[in-house]
Copies of this chain bind each other. A is one copy, B any other.
Amino acid sequence: MKAKVRLYVEHPLGAGQSVPLTREQAHYLFGVMRLGLGDPVALFNGRDGEWRTTVAESGKRGGVLACVEQSRPLQMPPDLWLLFAPIKKARTDFIVEKAAEMGAARIVPVQTEFTNSDRIRQDRLQAHAIEAAEQCGGTVVPEVTDLQKLDRLLADWPEERQLMFCDEAEAGVLKGLAGATPGPWAILIGPEGGFSPAERTRLHALPQAHVVALGPRILRADTAAVAALTLWQTALGDWR
């Protein structure tokens, strides 16, 4: 019987492991999804692949799942960060969901000169990333970091990490991804107001930067995120 429910847990998974459930998980499995003893649940924890488990104990406030066998090996996403400037709540949630589905390893909200929001709810965004990973069949949940200032990130940019960014104002100077090599990468999606002149200068001066165009129309940040992730995954990531 195929599991109808797929959950992320922090507990180790392996032969003989019993996984205790939190109150919320027990409510979801037994109250909402109406699972009973012996019913299958798929679990993953970002380290041990996906495991088929069955309900060994169920209660209102908790329960236990028993590991049966590994159903999928661990598949690490490529070493890709998605940096983006937070926008309206629904579209920010959307970008996090999409980044998890598309296989980013790390999601970094950045504050730019023209970013409106100066705070994010990291816990809420991380919960969105978990839900997206549960839904898309991934075996790893990308980490969502706290909001970081773009200028500091760029000032201290890791030497070995390539950076792809989209600059509508500079379509003439495209390096693109032709000739780019796999390895640690980041994609930067700018704010809807664009980068500031200082940010643009700094980005273009970065030796690791690749400027990429996303067509003749102006894309919203959430659209640009999915389009840029598609280009990168196809050229350099696990869609090859």
Contact = CB atoms under 8 A, between A and B. Distances in A.
A136 B217 contact: yes
**Copies of this chain, how many?**
2
Range class of the A interface residue count: 20 to 34
B216 A238 contact: yes
Contacts of A137: 217-218
Q: Kindly name the residue among A94, A219, A231 whose own CB sees the greatest number of chain B CB atoms within 10 A.
A: A219
Interface string A198-240: 0000000000000001111111100100110111011001110
A57 to B, nearest CB: 30
A101 B136 contact: no
B218 A238 contact: no
Contacts of A135: 218, 220
A238 B215 contact: yes
Q: What 7 A-B pairs come out closest when comparing CB atoms?
A: A226-B226, A230-B230, A215-B239, A136-B217, A227-B230, A137-B218, A136-B218
A146 to B, nearest CB: 25
A75 interface: yes
Contact of A234 (B101, B216, B231, B237): B231
14 contacts: A75-B216, A101-B218, A102-B227, A103-B216, A103-B217, A135-B218, A136-B220, A138-B217, A214-B230, A226-B226, A226-B227, A226-B230, A227-B230, A230-B230
Contacts of A238: 215-216
A52 interface: no
